[in-house]
Structure 1
């Protein structure tokens, strides 16, 4: 649901330009504020997850996103649209730290859980915008946005009623645990850093500052740098990729059944769908190989793919599709790897705070990747953009390699 809402917003922008007499720059600023809160709210969301528990926070996230899109459907003016998007960003921002904290402390088969969780996110990313586009064929944007609120309300109601042990995979104070040995080892390793909290979360400003300092002066600082490189590459390559694909002759518009089809849209959705497989493979790798080394290899692959992308365009449609598929796979294989790495380098009691910092880096700092890509494309060209992306990937690979030898 989070990624369905996130990726449906760009589809609605042209319709808002028709409904409200404003410039594109104004709409862009409004949307940017909502996306910024999506990343910046992850840190306080992580603190709340440790304090209130993940289940309650996830339910609040779902109801908040649903309410935001109901408000959006009824918006009489652009300021109300802006308010709705701000509310959506704030509500959606708490999901990743809460959901990933829940997986890391409540699920024994952590790798499989991260993999299935990532698959669901990718399905929302790829199928959500497609569903919105299809609904817009039979209804206006207000009815579509209102309809989008329904599944989130249903999911929120389930989240309120379901009962489970949120800390089933956490090592208890007496040493007993039902978690598998690899999970126990990871949590034991994370708990060796002095008297870092293991069970009660962050409940005051002083504890927030002390636990943040403990995280950011240890090996988690390197993990945080890795996720920033990942976020910058992710936003940098995906934000303007549809526009780039549309400019290639291989994806020129075609006529079908009296309608003009835009092949680049389906190629872009296909790239995101391949990411589903990447998420699954990444989750499996967390149980079989050291995640730091796997991240280094994946980033090295992203660097190579950035350098060969434009040559593949010139080589023809088939090479371009192959490189695009590999890019989608590798781009998303990184995510469960760094999610599991965060769990291995942080104590269970502040896992929500740890994932809050993680998604502050991925979506907050990473949002700068979109601005970076736009600036490069405006003042240089696509070759310069992919060179910068390759440099970011090399930075991620180098950091992960250094962490693996620590």
Structure 2
């Protein structure tokens, strides 16, 4: 339980820093530096571009040196990024801070999943993955309150400095509990893999020839396109299509994330009892996609939107633990870090692309089509998960 808790802290920290130089501080930064929201939005583009590139390669480092030192490096990057942003003399230096935060963010999934797979027994992995997802949502939920609250009470510089202190506090806790983060149980697999590479029997990129890895990447891309639409534009849809006030629209993402966390709890329970991960994902995302279609059709008026968003969040959250187990089943032994790194880079790419696509729809007056596209991407994710599950099931007897 200790390992699961401390990896939860790690994941919550990483999601908190997704929003370090994002929407919560945009009004304060716009006023301080007299810049446009397009320039501010580029901070997120820089963050996720660097994160995607780093994430794809971070697994190689994790498989070589182990997860724990990479974790400490990543949180140190967050601290330096926050303190450097707090001291920014001119706006363009914030891009460097965003890049440094992206560098730190890019390693968390290969690090966290390597440690969980090394230290948590398979019957408890579903529970571990659900806690992992929930704490990520809590990090997202905490950042706006923390950053905007301190910025409003004092200044945006104090808010960023406080975030740096929070990163140092997280680092201190994780370093003091380092015995719970030891992934040396995977050392034998890694050593065997390196020996095989030296003998010419395999190479470090061999896992990339596995079609299941790229199907998992595609699955992440599709699901994150859907999440990116909700995070970026659900409040706008609520205002323009459903007539919500600005205050009520601001609750949209909170409702989605809180109910998604509840879905993850149930998903962890379900995945511990059923091993057809693709089937669980299909049911969960089908529920979510149906709710998205009903939103696009404006089937329920007024507060009915909140109900449908809650259903969407619950379905997406329930799919989370099965998604992580599906990737684990598709991974090559000795290459867990590399597989998780490459696969999760699809998440960053989705978060980069989604704002551009759905922003274009908004700019051209297609507000009502946003949730229709969300349903399409979730349906594509279901089909992709089914293909991964089929390939994994076919490969299992051969491996045995």
1:156 alignment counterpart: 171
Q: Distance in 1 between matches of 2:38 and 2:83?
A: 25
Residue ranges of structure 2 left out of the alignment (5+ in a row)? 1-12, 392-400
Q: 1:298 aligns with which of 284, 291, 309?
A: 284
Structure 1 residue 380 displacement after superposition: 4.1
Q: Given the superposition, is the C-alpha separation of residues 159 and 304 from structure 1 closer, same or farther in structure 2, using an over 3 Å criterion?
A: same
- Report the secondary structure of 1:41's partner residue: helix
Q: 1:333 aligned to 2:318? A: yes
Q: 1:119 aligned to 2:134? A: yes
Q: 1:344 aligned to 2:329? A: yes
Q: Report which stretch shifted further, 289-298 or 154-163.
A: 154-163
Q: Given the superposition, is the C-alpha separation of residues 338 and 249 from structure 1 closer, same or farther in structure 2, using an over 3 Å criterion?
A: closer
* 1:367-406 matched pairs, under 5 angstroms: 367-406=352-391
Q: Report which stretch shifted further, 393-402 or 239-248.
A: 239-248
Structure 1 residue 202 displacement after superposition: 11
Residue ranges of structure 1 left out of the alignment (5+ in a row)? 174-196, 254-261
1:188 alignment counterpart: none
Q: 1:30 aligned to 2:43? A: yes
Note if contact 2:78-2:104 (Cα within 8 Å) is conserved in structure 1. Answer: yes
2:16 alignment counterpart: 4
Q: Given the superposition, is the C-alpha separation of residues 252 and 366 from structure 1 closer, same or farther in structure 2, using an over 3 Å criterion?
A: closer
Q: 1:273 aligned to 2:258? A: yes
Q: Given the superposition, is the C-alpha separation of residues 210 and 199 from structure 1 closer, same or farther in structure 2, using an over 3 Å criterion?
A: closer
Q: Given the superposition, is the C-alpha separation of residues 369 and 346 from structure 1 closer, same or farther in structure 2, using an over 3 Å criterion?
A: same
Q: Distance in 2 between matches of 1:134 and 1:404?
A: 45
More helix by share: 2
* 1:161-200 matched pairs, under 5 angstroms: 161=176, 162-164=178-180, 166-167=182-183
Q: 1:322 aligned to 2:334? A: no
Q: 1:232 aligns with which of 225, 235, 245?
A: 225
Q: Distance in 1 between matches of 2:195 and 2:116?
A: 19
Structure 1 residue 199 displacement after superposition: 5.0
* 1:236-247 matched pairs, under 5 angstroms: 236-247=229-240
Summarize deviations over 1:277-320 as a string: whole Å, max 9, x none. Answer: 122222222222211111122232232122111344x6333421
Note if contact 1:282-1:337 (Cα within 8 Å) is conserved in structure 2. Answer: yes
Q: Report which stretch shifted further, 283-292 or 92-101.
A: 283-292
Q: Distance in 2 between matches of 1:378 and 1:323?
A: 25
Q: 1:50 aligns with which of 41, 58, 63?
A: 63
Q: Distance in 2 between matches of 1:203 and 1:365?
A: 34
Structure 1 residue 376 displacement after superposition: 1.7
Q: Given the superposition, is the C-alpha separation of residues 171 and 66 from structure 1 closer, same or farther in structure 2, using an over 3 Å criterion?
A: closer
Q: Report which stretch shifted further, 198-207 or 58-67.
A: 198-207
- Report the secondary structure of 1:323's partner residue: helix
Q: 1:219 aligned to 2:232? A: no
Q: Distance in 2 between matches of 1:204 and 1:369?
A: 38
Structure 1 residue 140 displacement after superposition: 0.6
- Report the secondary structure of 2:273's partner residue: coil
2:6 alignment counterpart: none
1:15 alignment counterpart: 28
TM-score, normalised relative to structure 1: 0.84
Summarize deviations over 1:341-366 as a string: whole Å, max 9, x none. Answer: 11111134111111111211111244
Note if contact 1:46-1:352 (Cα within 8 Å) is conserved in structure 2. Answer: yes
Q: Report which stretch shifted further, 216-225 or 55-64.
A: 216-225
Note if contact 1:232-1:365 (Cα within 8 Å) is conserved in structure 2. Answer: yes
Summarize deviations over 1:136-191 as a string: whole Å, max 9, x none. Answer: 33111000110111121122123333214744776967xxxxxxxxxxxxxxxxxx
Q: Given the superposition, is the C-alpha separation of residues 238 and 216 from structure 1 closer, same or farther in structure 2, using an over 3 Å criterion?
A: farther
